[in-house]
Amino acid sequence: MGMTMVEKILARATDRASVRPGEVLEPRVDLAMSHENSALVINQFQEIFKDTGLEAKVWDPSKLAIIFDHRVPAESAKTATNQKKIRQFVREQGIEKFHDIRGDEGGICHQVLAESGYVLPGYVVVGTDSHTTTHGALGAFAFGVGATEMASVWALGRVLNVEVPETIKVIISGRIPPFVSAKDVILALIGKITAQGANFKVLEFHGDTIRRLPTSGRLTLCNMAIEAGATSGIVPPDEETLRYLHHECGISGLELDLSPDPDAHYAEIVELDVSTLTPMVAFPHMVDHVKGVEEAYGLPIDQIMIGSCTNGRLEDIEIAAHILRGKKIARTVRLLVFPASYRIYHQALDRGYIKELLEAGAVVMNPGCGPCLGVHEGILGDGERGLSTTNRNFKGRMGNPNAEVYLCSPAVAAASALTGVITDPRTLDLPEPQSLP
């Protein structure tokens, strides 16, 4: 019997001819990523070497990446002290894939990993962040781990006790309509299979829609695979993968030999036709509480956020600028925009998007995760309703359990900023975007 994508990757990472779901392995790690929670990992890592007489050295500093993004700039003395501790550890260990708080590099960890060429097809990638699943878009088996697990990875270069997951084959077909995007596709999928529909499994994406989808959209799909309970999401690498790695990362000469076998076994096959898909909205307080935007139409909004590791890429900022161009946002709403990285920020500046957003009344922030997890730079007030392009809308997710969070695409977010209520961008008198796929 053949193997799925993730089974092939795990077989390679354990020097085995084949693996099967349910087997427990200790695969080699190609990249281990942490952000500010590295402070916790450092504590656990040093504990491993306590009383051994051995020097606490990571197994391979070239395979570690540490990126400040969740609390940038530091919002408290505690955070600032932890960041200081991490900087010292980075220097001592010789970790070069370190992205500090700077305006010429860095940003949200999942965007930085992708655009820096740190992730390649066939890699095993672990991160102390649940949305490490994002990197399946580049053909890697990428998943989140806890601080203690990461400490053992730092010491050994392997992940202990990994059970080979079953895989769900997701076939997405049809051409995505104007003002509908990958965010609407993944919301529709989660609404269909539920937030527990892929528990401990992998979502492997296929279909003509996926083949046409740029890497930016694939990153969005895999980013939110975790919201269906999945261990990871993955897209078999293809010509678009090679294009992205060459164009964005300067990497060439890769061979594509990681496609799943024709006779691979799947736990389930799910099909979704997006040719008639409408913009989607996830209602509070669950990501699978998904409805068409028409069912949310007219709900007043206090704050709108465009950005995050889900939807802070250049295409997302471009569609927002396209919708807001020459207009003003409603006086009743606050619009915050967070580019996913400084590379994207500079690109948006060069193309004039940032100027257009500012002129419309948006507040453009530094790349970071602050309001998504609810620690700073945009926490909601009591009784407020937020509309966000982020990935979670659990109670209290954006910093206040007495507020509501609705999830949507950048197009819906920008259209709603103009009216102050949740709005379908297709109802506005807008030209269809030309440069977007």
Q: What is the pLDDT of residues 132-155, one digit of tens each?
A: 999 999 999 999 999 999 999 999
pLDDT surpassing 80 at residue 192: yes
Residue 436 belongs to some domain of the structure: no
Q: What percent of the chain has pLDDT over 90?
A: 88
| Domain stop point among 255, 272, 289 | 272
pLDDT surpassing 60 at residue 19: yes
Confidence of residue 345 (pLDDT cuts 50, 70, 90): very high
Q: Residue 262: how many CB atoms within 10 A of its CB? A: 6
Q: Determine the pLDDT at residue 434.
A: 65
- pLDDT averaged over the chain? 94
Q: Determine the pLDDT at residue 437.
A: 40
Give yes or no: residues 255 and 200 share one domain: yes
Beta bridge partners of 189: none
Residue 252 belongs to some domain of the structure: yes
| Domain stop point among 205, 240, 272 | 272
| Domain stop point among 243, 272, 301 | 272
Give yes or no: residues 146 and 251 share one domain: yes
Residue 369 belongs to some domain of the structure: yes
Token look-up 């819906």 returns 412
Q: Determine the pLDDT at residue 394.
A: 84
pLDDT surpassing 50 at residue 124: yes
- The parent domain of residue 380 ranges over 281-427
Q: What is the pLDDT of residues 280-333, one digit of tens each?
A: 999 999 999 999 999 999 999 999 999 999 999 999 999 999 999 999 999 999
Q: Determine the pLDDT at residue 55.
A: 87
Task: Give the residue-averaged pLDDT of 403-407.
Answer: 95
Q: Into how many domains does the chain fold?
A: 2
Confidence of residue 395 (pLDDT cuts 50, 70, 90): confident
Q: How many CA atoms lie within 13 A of 73 on its CB side?
A: 3
pLDDT surpassing 90 at residue 400: no
Confidence of residue 384 (pLDDT cuts 50, 70, 90): very high
- Report which of 253, 260, 221, 220 is spatially closest to residue 237, judged by C-alpha positions: 260
Give yes or no: residues 256 and 317 share one domain: no
pTM of the model: 0.94
Residue 308 belongs to some domain of the structure: yes
CA distances from 377 to 101, 368, 369, 388 (A): 15, 9, 9, 14
Q: What is the pLDDT of residues 245-284, one digit of tens each?
A: 999 999 988 877 789 999 999 999 999 999 999 999 999 9
Residue 53: φ, ψ to 5° = 80, 0
Give yes or no: residues 234 and 383 share one domain: no
Q: Determine the pLDDT at residue 435.
A: 52
Q: Determine the pLDDT at residue 371.
A: 81
Provide the angle, in degrees to the nearest 10, between the axes of the packed helices 342-350 and 314-324.
40
Any idea what the CATH number is for the domain that residue 77 is in?
A: 3.30.499.10
